[in-house]
Structure 1
């Protein structure tokens, strides 16, 4: 297949590109740099003056839209929040424009999303059929992002929204920051410890995206989380055990709120989210428990 990826050089995009290449697909990564090809990948300029990516994307079979400013980097100032929101809207609108002008439309658009669309809760369990939507900044951002992506349906394109959980990778994602205190022998429970962490290994993220591209039954949202979410206290205990470090210095909520501001909700609040769609379609999770995921990432 010919597959176009936005955000293809980022954390998730890089892992997805590697997997798609291994499977023999032809990859087109949209970038702000000038168009060129290297190591079997076509880099196509977009979102710059006079760029016409559609000229290089005829007969594309699938789009995977991962573009957007990272939630994890920097403090959530008003300017940063505006950039997080607008980067997603601008990229998705441009994907829609490209699809609109292509003579041959892609069969599918798999658009990134996030479980932040669900309200924080220590008691509720969410699946793709849950209708509750968080009223906070993150919930509204994700809701608008998905609404924009769904507009591709009017061009006859199948649209699937990958609601990412807390993605764990060896050198990127949430794990390096979560594991650092333990490596320094000062790790402990973050906040109350009772908040849910709906996590997933980066390799399973890439596999799930491929699965959604190839499976025509993926329409609408699907949760990209491991089937066994855990509470934050357990996350810390498993990190400590895997690294053979103590688990004793708590990080009080008030200190995290002072240090991180509104972004502290990413670690102090959470949701128990289950991947009902992936499980129903018999998707194989290589890392279904946090123990096996961390053993692999810390190997």
Structure 2
């Protein structure tokens, strides 16, 4: 297949690109600047998001488009300006993707739009599946709802749309797990806040394989939770992480301290949701790392080998 990716050079996008290439697909990376890009077999760089760029002229017969574009939610404190940037980066990139689809004479079969389990809101007691509706009006829930509304507009052109609602992606060199490692490596790791908040996680290898899975499974539409089948509470996660790192798990970080340090962004570690990947299970997605111990052992064994 010929697959276009917006955000194809980022954390998730670069790994997904390599997976698709390994399976014999041709990958088009949508980028702001196509100059001085490394040459790679079966990879083409096409400029978009510029007034003068005409990506539709170079994207004939694209089978699928994957949209991973958007500002990082955890890169800096959530000031009003930063929150607006987070929202608009997702809305604008998705709007541009839909406009691109409209211009293509031959439409792709599917648009796979990145999304997030923040859609559901936060709860220590509820369990969420793809059928669940938001429980609160938090910032992240609002962002995801608006994001998905933009992507849904591609259905007007006969395109199947899937929203991959990502949980916390586990990779020791990137994202949330990288941030969690430091205190454990300094022998001061322990529960964050109460430790009772739920963590719905996914191994990086399963995350990219699930994107590939939804492209190939034409029976999947709408929301699709990219999470492992066994979410855990933060205290359990910390205990397992300490075990695989051979470090103690004892020194708690109070919630109020994290709120002072991170502001509203502290919700990323103090709040959570128990999310079940109902569609992945019903569609028989073959998890590579369905349990947390298996996942962490693989990630840190892999890390020691490189």
Match of 1:296 among 289, 295, 298: 298
Q: Displacement, 1:296? A: 1.1
Match of 1:265 among 257, 260, 267: 267
Q: Secondary structure at the match of 2:175?
A: coil
Q: Displacement, 1:78? A: 1.1
Q: Distance in 1 between matches of 2:162 and 2:97?
A: 14
What residue number does 1:8 align with?
A: 8
Q: Secondary structure at the match of 1:159?
A: strand
Q: Distance in 1 between matches of 2:94 and 2:209?
A: 22
Q: Displacement, 1:201? A: 0.5
1:39 aligns with 2:40: yes
Q: Distance in 2 between matches of 1:38 and 1:96?
A: 28
Q: Distance in 2 between matches of 1:70 and 1:140?
A: 16
What residue number does 1:184 align with?
A: 186
Q: Distance in 2 between matches of 1:127 and 1:109?
A: 21
Q: Displacement, 1:133? A: 4.5
Q: Secondary structure at the match of 2:161?
A: strand
What residue number does 1:92 align with?
A: 94
Could you tell me whether the CA contact under 8 Å between 2:122 and 2:135 is conserved in 1?
Answer: no
RMSD (Å) for aligned C-alpha atoms? 1.0
Match of 1:246 among 240, 245, 248: 248
Q: Which runs of 5+ in 1 are unaligned?
A: none
Could you tell me whether the CA contact under 8 Å between 1:117 and 1:134 is conserved in 2?
Answer: no
What residue number does 1:172 align with?
A: 174
Q: Distance in 2 between matches of 1:83 and 1:158?
A: 28
Q: Secondary structure at the match of 2:290?
A: coil
**TM-score in terms of structure 2 length:** 0.96
What residue number does 2:19 align with?
A: 19
Q: Secondary structure at the match of 2:112?
A: strand
Could you tell me whether the CA contact under 8 Å between 1:188 and 1:250 is conserved in 2?
Answer: yes
Q: Distance in 2 between matches of 1:186 and 1:145?
A: 38
Deviations along 1:123-168, one digit per CA (max 9) or x if unpaired, are 1100001123431111010000001100000000000000000111
Q: Distance in 2 between matches of 1:77 and 1:141?
A: 15
Q: Distance in 2 between matches of 1:51 and 1:146?
A: 25
Q: Secondary structure at the match of 1:245?
A: coil
Alignment of 1:59-98 (within 5 A): 59-98=61-100
Q: Secondary structure at the match of 1:246?
A: coil
Q: Distance in 2 between matches of 1:134 and 1:178?
A: 27
Could you tell me whether the CA contact under 8 Å between 1:37 and 1:43 is conserved in 2?
Answer: no
Q: Displacement, 1:115? A: 0.3
Q: Distance in 2 between matches of 1:123 and 1:133?
A: 11
Aligned residues: 299
What residue number does 2:283 align with?
A: 281
Deviations along 1:235-272, one digit per CA (max 9) or x if unpaired, are 11111110000111111000000000111001000000
Deviations along 1:152-207, one digit per CA (max 9) or x if unpaired, are 00000000000000111120021111111101111000000000000000110100
Could you tell me whether the CA contact under 8 Å between 1:76 and 1:262 is conserved in 2?
Answer: yes
Q: Distance in 2 between matches of 1:210 and 1:133?
A: 30
What residue number does 2:304 align with?
A: none
Deviations along 1:50-73, one digit per CA (max 9) or x if unpaired, are 111111111100000010001121
Could you tell me whether the CA contact under 8 Å between 2:134 and 2:141 is conserved in 1?
Answer: no
**TM-score in terms of structure 1 length:** 0.98
What residue number does 2:154 align with?
A: 152
What residue number does 1:226 align with?
A: 228
Q: Secondary structure at the match of 1:298?
A: helix
Q: Which runs of 5+ in 2 are unaligned?
A: 302-306
Segment drifting more, 67-76 vs 131-140: 131-140
